[in-house]
Amino acid sequence: MVITELLERNAKLYPDDVALVEINPSNQPDPALTWHEYALIESAPGERYRRELTWKEFDVRANRFANLLLTRGVKKGDKVAILLMNCIEWLPIYFGILKTGAIAVPMNYRYSADEIQYCAELADVSALIFGYEFIGRMDSIFMALENIKDFFYVGKEEDTPVYADNYRLVSYCSSVTPAVEYGEDDYAAIYFSSGTTGFPKAILHAHRALINSCRTEQNHHGQTRDDVFLCIPPLYHTGAKMHWFGSLISASKAVILRGVSPEWILRAVSHEKCTIVWLLVPWAQDILDAIDRGDVKLEDYRLDQWRLMHIGAQPVPPSLIKRWKKVFPNHQYDTNYGLSESIGPGCVHLGVENIEKVGAIGVPGYLWEADIITADGRSAGTEEVGELIVKGPGVMLCYYKNEKATNEVLKNGWLYTGDMAKRDKDGFIYLVDRKKDVIITGGENLYPVQIEDFLRRNDKIKDVAVIGLPDDRLGEIACAIIELKPECTSSEEEMNKFCLDLPRYKRPRKIIFAEVPRNPTGKIEKPKLREKYCGMSLVESQTTR
């Protein structure tokens, strides 16, 4: 089975059920209009407050885009890039690409023009579809993208650049499923590494990885047709999309929210009757802080149906989940670990039944194996730190056009994650830190995540990142970049006093009060911090760690 068959099944069995809803909080509806009248207004992506698609409409749109691509000569094995903000067009476009037998190439919406060009050339992209937010960037590079034959623009027809065709051409294309054959072993998608470790690498996955991601997600979170998933993170990333795959396989509704404020999240959960919400650490913290300040009041929302909150993409402070459970005691909680190289979340997961193990990333996920390997190549013992490796049907085929990098991380079917971890006596895995982020000070290994988790217990701290700074005597020292909550003040002396409960060698030797940068998937951008505070370039900060 391939993943497009799930969409076609849903369209056949549940044609009139709502599949996707887009909520754009910045465009509140005219109170004089009924919802039915409002839904009939023609508008470009991002201009309307709420839009929805049924499963039948979803499949029809995917077919129409697939047939448009086929008329332009796109064939099996070609690469088609997607450069869009989250919108209701995103997933039908993705599935339309797959239905041609071509390879979908989602791109990070934060990419600069140079990064877009780099990734398009690396992945051998021959067609690209982009939204109105990217006109300026595309204008500056389209002439240089010599291998791209077709550009498609998602937005108002009058804004369409001269070098692109408007996406609305799909309305003239056939809605019949294209007669293209492809199977689980055929190439399906290229995703790019997050970019926190230098120029992105192109990660190639087969259809087998996508369909097994659906199975893993549903096994972990038990989605049924009654569930409603709130999708907030960017769809270009494996995390958001592979969690949505649980909605696809269960034929349940998903809500795409174009905004991350606590009020918008709670309003979407309330109005759309969401049952499952995947949050990043900063968003969960913002919700709790807004409740504590009284900026939002839970009694203003209908939240009884919300059954599961889960977090992934980064280490989760146990203190945050303890706070969450105090406010939402009836919520199930799960954390999911994964990489784009392992088709996103799920190769390790905590499991909703293991709330007492908060702080662990969990055990091997459904259909997955995991191990921890020491520097001398053996399996680590209990509480012994080593590199986490995973094996399963979602492991990438390779880094596209990068055999050397592929061979460094793929060994005998195992993916070497670059994350340092340990196992407790019950077999639960705990992340210690990224291999490249370990700080060696005076011969001792410091794991920044452990120091960060300690500092997050301080009620004044909104976010924190620990990096190593060069030191003539010790080699490196730990530096804590601390972002305070807006209403709070503190001093280096106060934070040093707070850290007295840490072992002496783990205490930060330097405190800096500043913003902690994170990428769209919630990961701390430590190369940027090293560049700023160590005087290193981004490349130096990656190659010297």
| In a domain? residue 358 | no
| In a domain? residue 42 | yes
Tens digit of pLDDT for each residue in 129-184?
A: 999 999 999 999 999 999 999 999 999 999 999 999 999 999 999 999 999 999 99
Provide the pLDDT for residue 37: 52
| In a domain? residue 337 | no
Provide the pLDDT for residue 196: 42
| In a domain? residue 307 | no
The CATH number that applies at residue 143 is 3.40.50.12780
Look at residue 413 and tell me whether its pLDDT is greater than 50.
yes
The CATH number that applies at residue 493 is 3.30.300.30
Provide the pLDDT for residue 520: 66
Look at residue 545 and tell me whether its pLDDT is greater than 80.
no
Q: Which of 161, 194, 221 is the last residue of a domain?
A: 221
| In a domain? residue 154 | yes
Q: Which of 191, 221, 251 is the last residue of a domain?
A: 221
Q: How far is CA 204 from CA 5, 188, 365, 401, in A?
A: 21, 8, 21, 10
**pLDDT mean across residues, the chain:** 89
**Which of 427, 425, 422, 449 has the alpha carbon at shortest distance from 436?**
449
**Which of 247, 76, 67 has the alpha carbon at shortest distance from 169?**
67
Look at residue 120 and tell me whether its pLDDT is greater than 60.
yes
Provide the pLDDT for residue 309: 95
Q: β-strand 344-349 against 363-364: which pairing, if any?
A: antiparallel
Percent of the chain with pLDDT over 70: 90
Provide the pLDDT for residue 476: 80
Look at residue 544 and tell me whether its pLDDT is greater than 60.
no
Tens digit of pLDDT for each residue in 357-412?
A: 988 999 999 999 999 999 899 999 999 989 999 999 999 999 999 999 999 999 99
Tens digit of pLDDT for each residue in 442-480?
A: 656 777 877 888 898 898 999 999 988 887 667 688 999
Tens digit of pLDDT for each residue in 500-536?
A: 988 787 889 999 999 998 876 667 888 788 878 875 4
| In a domain? residue 26 | yes
**Which of 335, 368, 378, 358 has the alpha carbon at shortest distance from 424?**
358
Q: Which of 176, 204, 221 is the last residue of a domain?
A: 221
Which range is least confidently modeled, 77-81, 326-330, 454-458?
A: 454-458
For residue 352, with 0-12 CB atoms within 10 Å meaning exposed, 13-18 middle and 19 or more buried, which class applies? Answer: middle
| In a domain? residue 536 | yes
- pLDDT tier at 435, thresholds 50, 70, 90: low
| Structural domain for 59, as ranges | 3-221
What's at 344, amino acid-wise? G
CB 82 within 8 A of CB 91: no
Three-state DSSP at 9 gives: helix
Q: What is the dihedral sign for C-alpha 436, 438, 440, 445? A: negative
Measured CA to CA, the distance from residue 194 to residue 108 in angstroms comes to: 8
What secondary structure does DSSP assign to 52-111, as a single string?
Answer: EEEHHHHHHHHHHHHHHHHHTT--TT-EEEEE--S-TTHHHHHHHHHHTT-EEEE--TT-
- pLDDT tier at 199, thresholds 50, 70, 90: confident
Is the pTM of the predicted complex or chain greater than 0.85?
no
| In a domain? residue 522 | yes
**Which of 283, 267, 99, 82 has the alpha carbon at shortest distance from 175?**
99
> What value does the mean pLDDT take over residues 246-253?
98
HEC sequence for 129-163: EEEHHHHHHHHHHCCCCCCCCEEEEECCHHHCCCC
Provide the pLDDT for residue 167: 96
Provide the pLDDT for residue 219: 95
Tens digit of pLDDT for each residue in 32-63?
A: 554 445 445 544 555 678 899 999 999 999 99
Tens digit of pLDDT for each residue in 341-372?
A: 999 888 999 999 998 898 899 999 999 999 99
Q: What is the CA radius of gyration of the chain?
A: 23
Which range is least confidently modeled, 47-61, 185-199, 233-247, 276-290?
A: 185-199
Measured CA to CA, the distance from residue 143 to residue 200 in angstroms comes to: 22
Which range is least confidently modeled, 116-120, 162-166, 315-319?
A: 315-319
Q: β-strand 125-131 against 79-83: which pairing, if any?
A: parallel
Which is more confident, 239 or 113?
Answer: 113
Phi, psi of 492 (to 5 degrees): -60, -40
Provide the pLDDT for residue 433: 67
**Which of 447, 240, 420, 418 has the alpha carbon at shortest distance from 341?**
418
Provide the pLDDT for residue 443: 58
What secondary structure does DSSP assign to 431-488, as a single string?
Answer: EEEEGGG-EEETTEEE-HHHHHHHHTTSTTEEEEEEEEEEETTTEEEEEEEEEE-TT-
Report the domain count for the chain: 2
Look at residue 28 and tell me whether its pLDDT is greater than 70.
no
Measured CA to CA, the distance from residue 499 to residue 458 in angstroms comes to: 10
Q: β-strand 18-23 against 125-131: which pairing, if any?
A: unpaired
CB 103 within 8 A of CB 189: yes
